[in-house]
Amino acid sequence: MQIDQLKPIIEAALLASTQPMTLPQLGDLFNEDEDVGSQQIAQALESLAGDCEGRGIELKEVASGFRYQVRQDVHPWISRMWTERPSRYSRALLETLALIAYRQPITRPEIEQIRGVVVSSNIIKTMEEREWIRVVGHRDVPGKPALFGTTRAFLDYFNLKSLDQLPPLSEIRDMEDPQMRFEPDPLPAHVGRDLPIDPDDDADDQVAETTDPGETDSPREPLSDAESGTGSPIDAHHPTLAADAQAPSGSSGPDEAADHPGSPSASPSTTAVETDADDQDTKEQSA
């Protein structure tokens, strides 16, 4: 079969497939009597890739095979077809994923030692759920910590054919404010238990969504002494006693004024009655 005959068949198969297709999978489209070999398929793929020049799509080979995809320079317009926000990942997750990609196989304690903080379980869980990493073995040290490595899904997601297409470590080291120190020696399982927790871990994992105004923390009103716990228990249950206790030292309550009529707080009527009684006693003694 000629290349020009193969091209529309392979193109249609790639467009109809929801997953990348490998050379053997494309070869299964043809019967033995059609005499189509892998070399012919590869030539047809190369020709199809050339046909995409100047178009909005490209034929890309990733870890799982060949696929048609939107070119990066037109992606901002195509992304408007979907209302959901793109996934955004925290720096802690990306640093952890980069360490696994460059240092695999690597254990969690080794990642914690390099980053200098405890790796959140949510970060590992998120990457495993997305099938970016998997357990490839266990380190032969006390505790038998799991060894993590990347998957084909990781390469497909980041548009890579193999790990060889990762940026060189020299470029990673030249990044501003690097948080990773690449140490060559494996570490025991107990290392990292006393490391600080990365405050960025809680952001992960995740996906940055628009915050509902009802879920945001609203400013709180000042609390009373009883609500805040700063006042005495008597204040809450006996307000009268609390008022007496908080009165100035130079003032007296109504009961105290009645017990001490000669005090400055005694009423004028009480003082007048006592004066009349004293005058009456003086007249009787004179008589």
At 134 the pLDDT is 96
Is this structure's pTM higher than 0.75?
no
Give the Å distances, CA to CA, from 186 to 52, 192, 272: 46, 13, 99
How many Cβ atoms from other residues are within 10 Å of residue 159's Cβ?
13
Q: Please give the pLDDT value at position 281.
A: 53
pLDDT at 103: 92
The angle formed by the CA atoms of residues 207, 208 and 212, to the nearest 5 degrees, is 120
Amino acid, single-letter form, for residue 205: D
Please list the ranges in the chain whose pLDDT falls under 70.
86, 171-287
Phi, psi of 37 (to 5 degrees): -100, 170
pLDDT recorded at residue 210: 35
Tokens of 29: 């489209």
- Domains by residue range for the chain, with CATH: 3-81 (1.10.10.10), 91-206 (1.10.10.10), 223-248 (no CATH)
**Beta strand 146-150 with 106-107: parallel, antiparallel or unpaired?**
antiparallel
Q: What is the pLDDT of residue 216?
A: 31
